[in-house]
Structure formats: structure tokens, C-alpha cells
Structure 1
């Protein structure tokens, strides 16, 4: 059994893979039913060279062009492993982008889901590649805790957004140790996964006009790890002038403590898993370069086996503030300091979280007697792992959080305790970071910030009750269900939904894609007069430091103030941050 959980999609992925997919001899996932289209694929001639794609049909039946698996950087193999990406500037022959490329290595069955180290690829989707009218560009950076998921079309597909007049680009970047190894010195200063994203953004600036996109109107969007990436691009000097708006869904790098300057401990652990020496950075990297990508990628689960608690922590890897060892630094200053001092690219920004985020993590603990008993017996040692608490004063912080969230009571499989523990998981990993991002930006950015919470419970979710098969809340990633087709995980939402339980799902797709479209086009999520009737009831105010209004996205739009601020007071008490 594959232990990786794709940040909440374990059961859903496995079920969807069995019910909806087969695979060809290359391991590429084929979604059934797959219509055979004998029409020659479209060709786009870019400054880098000619690229041949394929045809797809949107949710509402619009035909559009798809160019998948395009290399934006040289394959990061051999001596390029653990090195910054090398941009792909030209192609020596026509690029066949008619089929899906690989995802980056992670411990999945490669005969079912195609992964490979040669994964610095992107997908481009466009309604028209030779129009004189250049369209706004949306670049999506996928979630996954910096160790899972991919930008492939079966996970984050274009079939909803391409009913709008946008060019969509979805990118891969290196994951886990292959992307974020950081020894704190010149051997591996770190952040290569983010530098991959920068390389992709540079490729887009050079080439997207050929696909009908406007390189002067680029919106970067991301969820979870992708959301944190969006914020870091706002701060990184490497990303300056490569984008013009941002959408940050459910995470940010503004957390409980400053970012580290290295993660040498993770590098040493990775080395030890593969019988490599751990006595120096050079010895670690030189030895890991002799290992296959399968040995490195498939060893990911060992981090949880040896150093985790169940599937906690949710992520091991983090951005690092790179030491200056002569390299181009992606990040050289703490994110919150950068915002307070104005050292960032100020762009219009949407910040959001879901209503319940990681609420389902409680069930994994309370419904497993061994984990439940261990968490209760060793609370002060387990809480820092499960809730990502800094080492300093972790015992006192653990006790304080238990008092506030659980009333000092043990964890149990009851509705009340599950809800309380679920809130603790959600706030510790997502709620606090989103709150701090929105509050910092609305105070210090000269550009507008809009804040929202996604509260709609539809027909599907990244967590579905194992008994009823229905959503039990609004989980982490659930907002992406209404922006992207996700054929590897679930059937598509049709243009007109079937009868209950969720006849409104198709309307939520229309609303969410309309918000993204008008924001990408105009830098404001509110439609202009007479445009987008699906948003006719939307009046989303800009967030300001005084009343801190936010939008609740549900069957109806509604505006409220001070999102979850009361329940987050304990975090500000334990880990103060100056706004």
C-alpha cells in the first residue's frame, strides 16, 4: 500500500484510479471514456521553436488547444540534480506536446501514474493561438506540501477555466529532497523547487504570446504549497516583473516562527535512508547523486515511518532563507519582514482558506486506537509534530493549546472532540498562516487585498465520510474542485448537475471560474457593470486594517468581518507577530 496521501487524497485517489482509469505501456494515465480525435493537432510556433499539441473540449463544449508536457528547463538529471534549473531556451526540433508528460518523483506506482525525474514540464491551454487579441494568463502552482501532486491535466485540468477567455498554464516543479534539499552552504543552498517555478515563469514570459496569452497580464495562483509559493514569488527578487496579480489559497510562509536558513537535518535523514554518509554536505550530495530517482523519490514515506506520528507532520519541507554563498538567491529575507519593509512586488491579491481545512485529520487519530492512546499519553511530545510547533517552549505551548481547543480534555472519537481537534489541525497549519498573510498585506501593500473563506459543501470533497460517501465539511483543497477538472480523483462536474444531493455544483464552477477570470483580466474579482451575470450578487470589499472584511463563498455570497480572529488569539499569544 502506498503510504503517501497527496495531502488528503489517499482514499479518493486510489478509488478513482480503480474506477475511472487504465494505463498504457508507458504508465501514462488514460481517462475513460477517451474519445478518439483523428484531427491533426494544432501547432504553435514559439520563439523557442514549434510545439504540436492536441484538441480538448471544455465543460460547456468549447474546443480548445492543449500543449502538454513541454520542457521549460533542461532535465534535472546527472550533474544537474540538486542544482538550480537551466532554462530551456530553444528546441532543436518540433516538440510533441500532444500527450501528458510525467509528474515529478513521489512514491506512487509508476505503472499507474507516470512520474520521472525529467519532470520540469508545463501544460499550456488556449482557446486561440493566433488571435490579435491577447488573453490574460493564469499560471497555477500545484499543492502537495512540496512533496506530492503534479501539474498534469488529470489532477488540475483545464476543462472549467477554458470556458473563459484565458490562457491557462499549469507547471511541475521538483519535490521533496530532489527539489528542496538544503544543507545551508554552497553545496546545496536550497529552494531549487521554487527556482524551477521561476524558470517556468521566465519561459512563459518568452513564449506565452505565441499561444495567444498576454505576457503583461499574468496571474500566478496556487493552493497550499502552491499558495505559499505565490507569496514567495511576491518577495523573491528572482520573480520580479514575471507576474502581475496573485491568488493565494490556503497557506502562506508567514507562520509561527522565522523560516530556517537550512534543513540539513532532512538532508542527513535522506542520506541515511539510502546508506549514504552524513558527515558533510559534500558527502551527502555526492552519494545521493549516485542513487536512482526511484530510490530517492520512493523513500519519501520513510520520513513518516521514522520521524512522524501517523501521517503527521503534514509536511517536512519548508522554504529557506538562503545564505549568500555566491549563488542567485531565491529568498534572502524573512517573508514577514519583507512585507513590513516594502521589499516585495506589490500586486492585487486574493487570499483565501476553506471553512474546515484539515478537520479530517482528527478522524485519522481518534478512530485509530493506537494513535489516539499515544496522543493522549504523550500529548506534549506529539503535539509539536502534529501541529508544527517550534521547539522553543513546545511543552508549555502544547498544554496551552490543549486547554484552549480541547478544554484540557483527552482526544476522543466524539463529535465534539473531533470538531475541536480538527479546528486545531486546521488553524495550526493553514488558518494562522492565511490570517497573517491577509493582515500583513492589507496593512503594507499599496495594492488591494481581498480575503475570503470557501464554505460551500458540494457533492464531492477531498474528504468524504467512509460510511456515507458524502462530504463531511469543507476540506483543504475543496475550493479547487470548482476551478479545475480532476479526472484522476473524481468525475467531472457537468454543465447541468444531476438531481440532489448537490444540484448547485455546476453553479459553483461558474462562479469560481468567473471570479478567477475577471480578476485575471481586470485585477479585481468584482465584475464590471453588465458583465458576468453569475457574479451579479457579488460585492466583495477590499480588506483594510480597520474592519477586516471578508467574503464567505457559499450558495450565496455574504460579507463578514474578522475571520476566525477570536479562535486565533491563542496563537498570537504564543507566537506574536508584528503587523
Structure 2
């Protein structure tokens, strides 16, 4: 199933299962005393860590920012913790939120924790804050230090914050009524952002200089926080990497079908939302987390399961009261900020290998193209036959799929464009037209020593895959060895990517691209008439109209007003 632990790690479902194949994380520095931070909410005892280039910094991990979402609080909005009576032991990571994981990996429903990393909690000048929302399709991964390690970014004068938020049904159950309006995972993120506003100054961070950054599901989250009334004013810059909710359909008003599916998977009745929720409340959290694979319909597809919902109004505080494309087009962003948007060159291209290297899956996709295309490429039912036929003609030239590199590359482009590329293109185009702030767009094309998809035979990367830019921003010790501070291309990429993030967090622009030595480049912001982007590869260069030769096909299939 795991194909050497590679493919599902890229999908992030089994991210934690791959940690046994990685080297140990960068060492924790020895110090005579553990660091202490006192904030308006309480006192926190942390630990010392050492950055990639040998800088000692403070780490405060596993701080609970909300009450345990258990018992009667399961499927409810978070209850923020405003004060701590006793000193908080923040020396170790908290558990991951429920997801499939090996028995030895720490998982618990009491998982709403925040990590803060700072070079100095008593400096004369407050530092910019980067608040990172982890990827994982809203059903996996964590903000723990083995999946969002601070050792690269903390070479810079920045305070890094990472969080856990509820996943899967525990975070995104939505029956479309007052019992479960939805979006609780996003409301967790809001509670964490408010915790930062109350406390981050004590850790050396500037609460008026928070950059909200995310990848994949985290990228989608960043845009939603710009729209949401619950997040108004809680951050000041945005970075969205490889993820957008603006594609071929509007947000749903509920996910009742997933509530029914979840109930079936754990042997609960499905008569109505009341009996579903009451039964699900009785189930052990591990049973709910471990049921994830039951939502698959074809191999490992669909990649996306839980959507954010356009919340109905039942008198609750609503996270998402608007459709995102309309909010942008009508200039109704409540927190518009300078914004970096990106995608990788190859994104989910590896989905093709899962199909083509399995004779049963390949045969099924060939013989039932329309049905499987809807699942694998997440296509709406409307005009499905026309859309599926057009995609097969344009990408595959109406040729049957075979287990060849040419077939894999063609099918891989459909996976990448349908799941990430086209949606991200639409987000960049809408924001560059209607945001009152500048928008910058980049393509991550660099292929280094490692990737989230590596050939199972050669163990070498085959493209710039989904999440690959994270390899040069965070120490991902669950799977990858630490990148040493030397003169290698990978090391230089770490320096460039972290410098880009630091400069953007500090200044709200991309001036750092002018200070990259031989890769010095003037990266203009994107405009409707000049759809420019930065290509981050072995060299950094500016180009125009990213992948638009392919995206024009999708525009014809799913027209939208810009």
C-alpha cells in the first residue's frame, strides 16, 4: 500500500508513518536553564533548540490554546483558553489530532495546541511573526515540530508559530443545520490567531506584524481568513502555497453526505443529523481518525474529501458567510493584505503513477473514464460527459493509458491541473484584479535531493511535486534528513526561500529577490495585463502566463467572471 512510504507521504495521509525512514531531527541545544516566558495569559516553560546555522533559540511547544474538544465539546466551536493558572510545561510537542498513524505516534483528541519559536523573548525590538497553517487536505498532518520544524526559518529574526487544528469529521462535520453548521477546524485556527494577538509580544513577536502562511489545505485557509469576519484584523500579510478553493464549483452549504458516510464507517445510524451526531459522539477518537481510508472511492482518490462550507445562518458566529470568488470580485475581503500565491511545476503528477503501476486501476480508468474522472479529478456532475471527453482528448489525445513515462506525464498533468493548478491560477487572477494590495505569483520548479514523490526504484525525485517548496522552509524530520549549512544547491535554496519569507514578513514585499547573488531578480507584482510570475528553479527568473496554454481549456469548460 505504501509504495516504500513515498506516495502516501506526498498525500500526507501517512505522513507520520514515514518518520521511521528519516534521520533524527536537528539536535536540541543544551542550556543551563530552560527558558521562561510570562505573557498576559500565564507563564510558559520552554526548551532550547539550535537552528541550521547554529543559532540557539527558544521553543515553546504543546501549549493548549483551547479547551479539549471532547465529550459535549466534540463537533462544537472551540472554547479558547484565556488564562493559565499554573505554569505551562511547553517543553515537548503536543499530540497530533486524530488521523491514521502508527500506534507509537502521539495522537489524541485533546490536540488543540500551539508552538512558538523565538530567537529572543526579551529583545529591544519586536520581531515579525510567521503563523503557519499545516497542509494535509483537512484530514491529516500536524503542526508538530517533526512536520513543521523551525530550524531553517529561525536562522532569521522571526517568531514562528505553528498549530494543530481539528481534522476530518472531528473538524469539518457539517450537517447543514444548527447541530453542525460546519467549519470548526477553521474556527480552531481563529482561536489560535487570537491567542497570538494576546500573547505573542511576550515571546518577542510584533502582534501588528503577523504573516499568515499555509500550504495546500493551509493555503486555502489563508484566503478564507481574509474573507472571514471572525479573522478580521488578526494578520497583516498572506502566503498561499499550492491551494485555492476557487475552481469549478461553489462552496457547498453542507457536507451531509460525508456525515452519513462517516456514520456508516463506524456503524452509526443515518436516519437524520441528530442521531448521526449523538452516535458519533460516543465513538472513540481513534475509530473516527482511523476511518479515513473508508472515504476513498478509487485507489487513493479523491484527494480532497472535506470541503469548507458556505455556512448557513443559525444564529452562530459564522466563519464563512460568503462564496470566496464573490467576496474577492466584490471587494468584500475584510482583511486584505499583501499576498504571495504559488504552485509547483508538477503538483499532483504522481497520482498518475499510482494508477498506471496498478493494472486493475489502469484498466478501470481506461474502461470507465467518465466515472473515474469525476472521482479522481473532482469534477462536478454538470456537463460531466462533455468535460471528461474534452480532458481525454486535450491531455491524452484520446489514447488509452499505458504504463509508460509519456502516459504518466500526460495523466499527471490532469491530476496537477485539476486538483491544484487551475484553482490557484484563478485565485491569482482574481486577487491581482481586485485586491487593494499587491499580489506576487511564483512557480516552484526546483528539483533537489528529495521530493514528496521519489521514484520507488531509484529513490530519486521525478518532478517538483506538491509540497516540495516546504522542504526548503521547514525541517521535515518525519521523513527527510536535515539539509546541512554548506554550499550545496539544496542548502542555497533553504537560504533563499527562508530569506524570501523573512523579508516578506518584515516588509510586506519581495525585496529579498534582489539580494540573492547570481539569482538576483526584480520580481514584479502580478496585474491583469501583466500576469507575471517568478520561476524558482536552479536559477530564479521572471516569466508570464503560467501554464495558461492548459488552463484555457478549463476556462472554456468552467467559465467564470473575473
Q: TM-score, normalised by structure 2?
A: 0.97
Residue 39 of structure 1 deviates from its aligned partner by 2.7
Task: Name the counterpart of 1:488.
Answer: 478
CA distance in 1, matches of 2:468, 2:513: 27
Q: Does 1:320 align with 2:309?
A: yes
Whether the 8 Å CA contact 2:34–2:45 is kept in 1: the answer is yes
CA distance in 2, matches of 1:303, 1:313: 8
Whether the 8 Å CA contact 1:83–1:192 is kept in 2: the answer is yes
Q: Does 1:520 align with 2:510?
A: no
CA distance in 1, matches of 2:54, 2:11: 31
Which deviates the most, 403-412 or 137-146?
403-412
Residue 40 of structure 1 deviates from its aligned partner by 2.1
Which deviates the most, 293-302 or 238-247?
293-302
SS at match of 1:298: helix
Q: Does 1:349 align with 2:339?
A: yes
Residue 323 of structure 1 deviates from its aligned partner by 0.3
CA distance in 2, matches of 1:523, 1:535: 23
CA distance in 2, matches of 1:410, 1:11: 31
CA distance in 1, matches of 2:28, 2:443: 37
Task: Name the counterpart of 1:411.
Answer: 401
Q: How many residues are matched?
A: 558
Q: What are the Cα deviations for residues 201-247 of structure 1, in whole angstroms up to 9, with x where unaligned?
A: 00000000000000000000000000000001011111000000000
When the two chains are superposed, the root-mean-square deviation of aligned CA atoms in Å is 1.7
**In the TM superposition, what are the counterparts of 1:203-218 in structure 2 within 5 Å?**
203-218=195-210
Residue 165 of structure 1 deviates from its aligned partner by 0.4
CA distance in 2, matches of 1:392, 1:486: 40
SS at match of 2:291: coil
CA distance in 1, matches of 2:197, 2:185: 19
**Relative to structure 1, is the Cα distance of residues 550 and 18 closer, same or farther in structure 2, using a 3 angstrom cutoff?**
closer
CA distance in 1, matches of 2:123, 2:12: 39
SS at match of 1:70: strand
Residue 12 of structure 1 deviates from its aligned partner by 7.8
SS at match of 1:174: coil
**In the TM superposition, what are the counterparts of 1:109-148 in structure 2 within 5 Å?**
109-111=102-104, 113-148=105-140
**Relative to structure 1, is the Cα distance of residues 260 and 337 closer, same or farther in structure 2, using a 3 angstrom cutoff?**
same
SS at match of 1:5: helix
CA distance in 1, matches of 2:467, 2:122: 34
**In the TM superposition, what are the counterparts of 1:504-515 in structure 2 within 5 Å?**
504-515=489-500
2:299 to 288, 305, 310: 310
Q: Does 1:471 align with 2:464?
A: no
CA distance in 1, matches of 2:328, 2:18: 43
The runs of 5 or more residues in structure 2 that have no matched partner are none
Q: What are the Cα deviations for residues 380-417 of structure 1, in whole angstroms up to 9, with x where unaligned?
A: 11000000000112122111111111011111111211
Q: Does 1:554 align with 2:528?
A: no
Task: Name the counterpart of 2:183.
Answer: 191
**Relative to structure 1, is the Cα distance of residues 403 and 61 closer, same or farther in structure 2, using a 3 angstrom cutoff?**
same
Whether the 8 Å CA contact 1:339–1:445 is kept in 2: the answer is yes
Which deviates the most, 10-19 or 254-263?
10-19
CA distance in 2, matches of 1:420, 1:456: 20
Task: Name the counterpart of 1:451.
Answer: 441
2:86 to 66, 88, 93: 93
CA distance in 2, matches of 1:294, 1:9: 18
CA distance in 2, matches of 1:419, 1:555: 21
2:548 to 524, 542, 565: 565
**In the TM superposition, what are the counterparts of 1:356-371 in structure 2 within 5 Å?**
356-371=346-361
CA distance in 1, matches of 2:130, 2:145: 15
Q: Does 1:69 align with 2:44?
A: no
CA distance in 2, matches of 1:287, 1:35: 44
**Relative to structure 1, is the Cα distance of residues 473 and 320 closer, same or farther in structure 2, using a 3 angstrom cutoff?**
same
Whether the 8 Å CA contact 1:51–1:94 is kept in 2: the answer is yes
Whether the 8 Å CA contact 2:28–2:50 is kept in 1: the answer is no
Whether the 8 Å CA contact 1:42–1:54 is kept in 2: the answer is yes
Whether the 8 Å CA contact 1:511–1:535 is kept in 2: the answer is no
CA distance in 2, matches of 1:83, 1:14: 29
Residue 295 of structure 1 deviates from its aligned partner by 1.2
1:5 to 8, 14, 17: 8
**In the TM superposition, what are the counterparts of 1:47-62 in structure 2 within 5 Å?**
47-62=40-55
Residue 525 of structure 1 deviates from its aligned partner by 1.3
CA distance in 2, matches of 1:36, 1:244: 32
**Relative to structure 1, is the Cα distance of residues 250 and 283 closer, same or farther in structure 2, using a 3 angstrom cutoff?**
same
1:79 to 72, 89, 107: 72
1:537 to 520, 523, 535: 520
**Relative to structure 1, is the Cα distance of residues 34 and 158 closer, same or farther in structure 2, using a 3 angstrom cutoff?**
closer
**Relative to structure 1, is the Cα distance of residues 405 and 472 closer, same or farther in structure 2, using a 3 angstrom cutoff?**
same
CA distance in 2, matches of 1:11, 1:181: 21
Residue 154 of structure 1 deviates from its aligned partner by 0.5
Residue 468 of structure 1 deviates from its aligned partner by 1.0
CA distance in 2, matches of 1:200, 1:35: 25
SS at match of 2:208: strand
**Relative to structure 1, is the Cα distance of residues 11 and 87 closer, same or farther in structure 2, using a 3 angstrom cutoff?**
closer
Q: What are the Cα deviations for residues 474-517 of structure 1, in whole angstroms up to 9, with x where unaligned?
A: 000000000000111110000015xxxxx300000000000000
CA distance in 1, matches of 2:233, 2:112: 22
Whether the 8 Å CA contact 1:105–1:115 is kept in 2: the answer is yes
Task: Name the counterpart of 1:24.
Answer: none
Whether the 8 Å CA contact 1:218–1:244 is kept in 2: the answer is yes
